[in-house]
Each structure stands twice: as structure tokens, then as C-alpha cells.
Amino acid sequence: MAVHEQQATVAPPTAPARPPMSERTRHERRLGLMLSAPAFVVMVLVTAYPLVYAVVLSLYNYRLTDPAGKEFVGLSNYATVLTDPVWWTDFSTTLIITVVSVAVELVLGFGFAFVMYRILHGRGLVRTGILVPYGIITVVSAYIWRYAFQLDSGFINQWFGLGDFNWFGERWSSLFVIVLSEIWKTTPFISLLLLAGLVQVPWDLQEAASVDGASAWQRLARVTLPNMKAAIMVALLFRTLDAWRIFDNPFIMTAGANQTETLSFLAYRQNVTLLNLGVGSAISVLLFFTVVIIAFVFVKGFKTDLSQVRGDS
Amino acid sequence: MGGQKAGNRWTVYGVLILLWALFPLLWMLSLSFKDPSTFRSAKPTFFPKEWVWTNYKTVFSDSLFTSALRNSVGIALIATTLSVIVAMFASYAIARLDFPGKKVLLSMALAIAMFPQAALVGPLFNMWRNLGIYDTWLGLIIPYLTFALPLSIWTMSAFFRQIPWEMEQAAQVDGATAWQAFRKVIIPLAAPGVFTTAILTFFFCWNEFLLAISLTSTDRARTVPAALSFFTGASQFQSPVTAIMAASVVVTIPVVILVLVFQRRIVAGLTSGAVKG
């Protein structure tokens, strides 16, 4: 530190990496560390530490119903999980829900964003309206849709002449209702993110394309969408990872019946319901890795620019 | 004119979006006014044949719901307050100061925003039992505060970056320390951003379900989403469907009020952290 002090030249206030350490800079660094320390400590204690603990637990055969039988078993819990068809069924369920809901939400959300961008009367009203599904409790949304489709209480079958079709009687129709609730609840968020990106597309580019004789679709495909790439990728990444941990909707709507259990649900069931902390922790760790892989694919594979999310531009 | 017609077309789409967003709420409202003993039918209708208040009386006389409401309000308010305070300091540092570890902090916040909470359910469950905070307010406040932090930090640091910082420097020239400048000049300017962040954080805490059912077991700390999933209605012979809808209406009211009053702020807050602008 003293070394830096000697080269006390004038530096711009936001100098990178190694600013010369004047009295003020030192004070600033100390203040910065002090102010961010609580956030840092809380995040490490409540996420990093339990995650390490999960890794440790996953190496043991450990059931809370039989604490005395705790023994080190190495990686065998992982083998147990990965060779069990339940993991793969839940994996595919989670994958289906994520892909379908994110794809639909992206298209629908873009439509919403475009309407909110172009609408002249009642823009505020529309924005207020779509914020209600955003703010509503997911469990409440799940109940609303479940009861709308349920045989003895729902109106859907009556309105669409479906007689006594039991939506929750098999896998695909159950997944349909789950995805519907998910889409209803989260499209507003994605549409607002896309609207923010849409607003930033330079208007003169649109104008120029229009003058050059580009049709509305061409303008959308060649000018608007490419200019929104950053906003779209960020919205996609966030929604994908959010959809990937889906728990509330299947829990409330089907309780996991008919192969509608998701990975988060599986982790919950093993850990909390069955108190099987060894296998449950292995599932937790694997779930964490799936998230890391998804994030990695987005950042490296699709070149999602997270600097604008992190705000350290 | 064509322009007028085109304008009308967008208005029609706008009305369709509103319908899509609000129609399910109408269904919730309608179901909550149906008679719990007769609403089941082979041919259910959308609106009740007869509108009754029974379900609302049921939920407010059920201690499962009233205690859950108290827990939800208390836990969400405390967790929001703490999260906003902790994030406020961090966001100021991020937006304003140059210090080592800034990138680490931001990356960590990003990682936690993407973190699957279900991966922590097992270890937290076990740790909380050992620490004796399983099934307590504190046991939920701590993880809520943590998982709300990334959202709070982004939203607030985005707001903080738009503050005219010359005023802080002016205060410092006048002899104020950095801390005084922060407290006396910046906090009043930052209040709107802090408030918006608080609303978004409150939504998060109010909504949370997975940790709420994993880390509680009685009505001591069980929040509304968790209680709803255990709700059995006025008696075991009666279907809980209509009562659950009544409870849902009750807990949706605060959301609707916040949205109506602070629409502009919420939109600004939701988009500020994710997309610069």
C-alpha cells in the first residue's frame, strides 16, 4: 500500500484497477468495503455456506429419521440419483415447462411490448393491468387456474364444450394448465423488459428503413429485433433460469401427479418431506449445476452481455 | 384518416391485453362469492347463482389464515426493510465509490439472483433446526433478505447512478465528510429509488412459497402462500375451494393497491436493473 502512496499523481476520480492512494482514495476504498460488507457477508453466509454444506451432506448416507446411521458413502448418492428414472422424468418435465413457457412468453411478451409501445390511448392503464399478474402470489395464480380447469368447479369445460374431460387426469393436459398459469403470471415481466429495449431502438433507423421501402415485417426482422438483441438475451436468460426452478404451480395444481414433478419439487420432497438429506443434497447440488450450465451456455454460447445487468459498465 | 384507424387498432389490442391480465381475477372474485356447499356441480357456471359472503367469514374466523396473514405482513415488512437498508449501503458503494471487490459483489449478486432456492432447502432445513430458528419469523426473514438482495442492489444502484452527484461534492467542498454527504444530501435524493426497490422486494417476500413451506411447520411462522396450501375450509366436510379463493382475494388486494398507486415506479424499477436507459 505504501508503494502506491509514493506515486501520488492526480488521477481521474473513477480510475481503474490501481489508483494512487491518496488519503481520500484510501478513505473511499475503506468506506466502499464497509458499506458493501453487510451485503457480502449475508450472501456468503446464507447461500455459499449452505451450498458447501449440501456438498458435504451429499457424500453421506444421512436420513433425519435415522441420524445414528449416518455414514460416508462417497459419490454413491449421485449414482443413485442419476440412475433413477425419477430424476430423468423430473428433468424432462422441467425442461418441457421451461422451453414451452419461455418460448411462448417471448413471443407474447414481445407482442405486448409492441402494443404498449404503439398504443396512444390508455398506455398507463395497460401497464397497470399487466402489473397485476406480475405482483400476484404464484400460489394464488395456481389455484385460480386449477379451479378454472377442475371438473367440478371450473368453467373451461362448459365454455369450450369439453364435457367431462379431466385436465388433471394425465400428463400433457396437466402440463398445459401448469404452463398456462406460468405464462399468465410472468409474461408481464418479460414484456416490460422487452419494452425497455424497444424504446431504445433508434427511431431514425426505423424511419430510414421505411423510406427505403422496407415492409413492417422487414423492419421488425432487420432493424428492430437486431437492435434489441441485448435486451432480448437478458430477458431470456432471466426467465429461463426462473422457469427452471418452477415449484409453486406443479405443487399446488397436481402435487406432482402424472409425471408433473419438477426438479425443485424433487429436491423439496427428498429433503423436507422424506427427510432424506443425503440423497436430497445430491439432488440440490445437481440442480445447482444444471443452473450453472444454463447460465454458462447463455453467457458463452449466446454471448449474453451481462455487464449491463451487473451495472459495472 | 388511416392514422386514426391504426391508432384504434392498437387500442383494441390494449383492451385485449387488459382482458387477458384481469379476467382470471374476475374468476377468482366470482368463485370466492359462491356458496361453499352448493358450488360443486356437473355443469359449473362462471358466476355464482347466489352471491354469499360465507367464504370471507370463514377465512377471517380461521386462525390458520389470520395468523398466516399476520406472519406474512410481519415477515415481508421486516425482510424488505432489512434488505433495502443493506442493499442501500452496497448500492451507494457500487454506484459511487471505487473499491476492491466491487466486481465480486456484483457477480455474486447476479449468481444469487439465478440461484435455485430448492438447492438450499435441505441444508437450510437442517441448519435452522440445529440453530433453533426453524419455524420462526427469523428463519424466514434471513433467507428472504438474502434472496431479495440482488434485486434490491441492482434496482437501487441503477437509480443511484442517475442522482446528480455534484451536489454531494458540493457538500464535501463545504466541509462535509463522505458519510455526512451520504446521509444529508444523497438519502433525500435517493428516497424515490429506495421506495421503488422496497415495493419490488415486498412483492418478492409476499410471494415466496418454497422456503415458506420448507422452513415452517406451524402457524407460528407459516405465511399466507404456505397456509393456503394447507387450507381445509370451515370443516373437513366442506370443500376448501371457495374459501381459498376468498383468502386469495384478500391477499391480492394489497398487490392491486400497490400496483394502482405506484405503476410508474414499479415499471421503472423492474426495467432499470436489467436494461440501461
Shortest CA distance to B201 belongs to which of B113, B97, B110, B69? B113
The answer to whether residue A24 scores a pLDDT higher than 70 is yes
Count of domains for chain A: 1
pLDDT reported for residue B254: 93
Average pLDDT for B242-249: 94
Using a CB-CB distance cutoff of 8 angstroms, which residues of chain B are in contact with residue A134?
203, 270
With contact defined as beta carbons under 8 Å apart, do A8 and A22 qualify? yes
* Residue A36 to residue B10, Cβ atoms within 8 A: no
Kind plus residue range of the DSSP H or E element containing B193: helix B187-207
pLDDT reported for residue A9: 45
Q: Is residue A283 part of a domain?
A: no
Using a CB-CB distance cutoff of 8 angstroms, which residues of chain B are in contact with residue A124?
263-264
Using a CB-CB distance cutoff of 8 angstroms, which residues of chain A are in contact with residue B99?
28-33, 36
A284 inside 8 A of chain B by CB: yes
- Mean pLDDT over each residue of chain A, to the nearest integer: 86
- Mean pLDDT over each residue of chain B, to the nearest integer: 87
**Contacts of B196 by beta carbon, 8 Å cutoff, 6+ apart:** B155, B159, B262, B265, B266, B268, B269
Kind plus residue range of the DSSP H or E element containing B62: none
With contact defined as beta carbons under 8 Å apart, do A270 and A276 qualify? yes
Burial of B73 (0-12, 13-18, 19+ CB in 10 A): middle
Q: Is residue A308 part of a domain?
A: no
First-to-final CA distance of chain A: 27
Size of interface A-B (CB pairs under 8 A): 343
Using a CB-CB distance cutoff of 8 angstroms, which residues of chain B are in contact with residue A116?
14, 17
Distances B275 to A1, A229, B94 between C-alpha atoms, Å:
37, 11, 17
Q: Is residue A284 part of a domain?
A: no
ipTM of the complex as predicted: 0.90
Higher local confidence (pLDDT), A25 or B244: B244
The answer to whether residue B104 scores a pLDDT higher than 90 is no
* Residue B125 to residue A272, Cβ atoms within 8 A: yes
Average pLDDT for A214-227: 85
Q: Is residue A53 part of a domain?
A: no
| Angstrom distance (rounded) from CA B89 to CA A38 | 8
| Angstrom distance (rounded) from CA A112 to CA A124 | 13
pLDDT reported for residue B275: 45
| Angstrom distance (rounded) from CA A153 to CA B38 | 10
Quickly state the pLDDT bin for B235 (edges 50, 70, 90). Answer: low
* Residue A272 to residue B214, Cβ atoms within 8 A: yes
Quickly state the pLDDT bin for A162 (edges 50, 70, 90). Answer: confident
| Angstrom distance (rounded) from CA A100 to CA A187 | 13
B5 inside 8 A of chain A by CB: no
The answer to whether residue B214 scores a pLDDT higher than 90 is yes
With contact defined as beta carbons under 8 Å apart, do B80 and B198 qualify? yes
The CATH number of whichever domain residue A127 belongs to comes to 1.10.3720.10
- Identity at B31, one-letter amino acid code: L
Q: Is residue A104 part of a domain?
A: yes
* Count of other CB atoms within 10 angstroms of residue A159: 11
- Identity at B131, one-letter amino acid code: L
pLDDT reported for residue B164: 82
Average pLDDT for A28-41: 91
Interface test with A, best of B89, B114, B197, B203 (most A CBs within 10 A): B114
Per residue in B200-212, pLDDT (tens digit) is 999 999 999 999 9
pLDDT reported for residue A300: 84
With residues binned 3-state (H G I as helix, E B as strand, rest as coil), the percentages for chain A, rounded to 5, are 70, 5, 25
- Identity at B44, one-letter amino acid code: P
> Which one of 3.20.20.10, 1.10.3720.10, 3.30.2130.30, 3.40.710.10 gives the CATH number of domain B63-230?
1.10.3720.10
Quickly state the pLDDT bin for A306 (edges 50, 70, 90). Answer: low
Interface test with B, best of A60, A271, A296 (most B CBs within 10 A): A271
Between vectors from CA A224 to CA A221 and to CA A227, what angle results, nearest 5°? 115
Nearest chain A residue to B216 by CA distance is: A272
Using a CB-CB distance cutoff of 8 angstroms, which residues of chain A are in contact with residue B107?
310
Of B17, B118, B203, the CB nearest to A130: B17
* Residue B241 to residue A139, Cβ atoms within 8 A: no
Average pLDDT for A228-244: 88
Per residue in B34-93, pLDDT (tens digit) is 988 888 887 888 898 889 999 999 899 988 899 999 999 999 999 999 999 999 999 989
Of B20, B158, B270, the CB nearest to A311: B158
Looking at residue A62, the DSSP 8-state letter turns out to be E
pLDDT reported for residue A83: 94
| Angstrom distance (rounded) from CA A222 to CA A230 | 15
**Contacts of A313 by beta carbon, 8 Å cutoff, 6+ apart:** A307, B276
The answer to whether residue A5 scores a pLDDT higher than 80 is no
Using a CB-CB distance cutoff of 8 angstroms, which residues of chain A are in contact with residue B27?
144, 147-148, 155
Quickly state the pLDDT bin for B225 (edges 50, 70, 90). Answer: very high
| Cell numbers found for residue A111 | 407482442
Q: Write out the residue range of the structural domain in which residue A180 sits.
A: 93-261
The answer to whether residue A13 scores a pLDDT higher than 60 is no
Q: Considering the entire predicted model, what is its pTM? A: 0.89
Of B14, B97, B112, the CB nearest to A28: B97
Residue carrying the nine cell digits 418454497: B210
Quickly state the pLDDT bin for B4 (edges 50, 70, 90). Answer: low
The answer to whether residue A11 scores a pLDDT higher than 50 is no
pLDDT reported for residue A289: 93
* Count of other CB atoms within 10 angstroms of residue A168: 18
Helix axes B102-114 and B63-96, enclosed angle (nearest 10) = 150
Of A43, A136, A199, the CB nearest to B255: A136
Average pLDDT for A7-32: 65
Interface of A with B in 176-205 (CB under 8 A): 184, 188-189, 192-193, 195-197, 199-200
Q: Is residue A49 part of a domain?
A: no
Nearest chain B residue to A240 by CA distance is: B114
Average pLDDT for A39-46: 92
Per residue in B149-206, pLDDT (tens digit) is 988 898 888 888 888 878 878 888 888 888 888 788 877 888 888 888 999 999 999 9
Rounded to a whole number of angstroms, the CA Rg of chain B reads 23
B75 inside 8 A of chain A by CB: no
Quickly state the pLDDT bin for B128 (edges 50, 70, 90). Answer: very high
Smallest CA–CA distance, residue B19 to chain A, in Å, is 9
* Residue B146 to residue A46, Cβ atoms within 8 A: yes
* Residue A140 to residue B276, Cβ atoms within 8 A: no
A226 inside 8 A of chain B by CB: no
Specify the 3-state DSSP secondary structure of A303.
coil
Interface test with A, best of B1, B259, B261 (most A CBs within 10 A): B259
The answer to whether residue B257 scores a pLDDT higher than 50 is yes
| Angstrom distance (rounded) from CA A129 to CA A5 | 57
Q: Report the share of chain A in percent with pLDDT over 70.
A: 90
- Identity at B12, one-letter amino acid code: V
Interface of B with A in 23-52 (CB under 8 A): 24-25, 27-28, 31, 39-46
pLDDT reported for residue B199: 92
| E strand map for chain A | 60-63, 66-72
| Angstrom distance (rounded) from CA A32 to CA B94 | 8
* Residue B274 to residue A287, Cβ atoms within 8 A: no
Using a CB-CB distance cutoff of 8 angstroms, which residues of chain B are in contact with residue A130?
17-18, 21
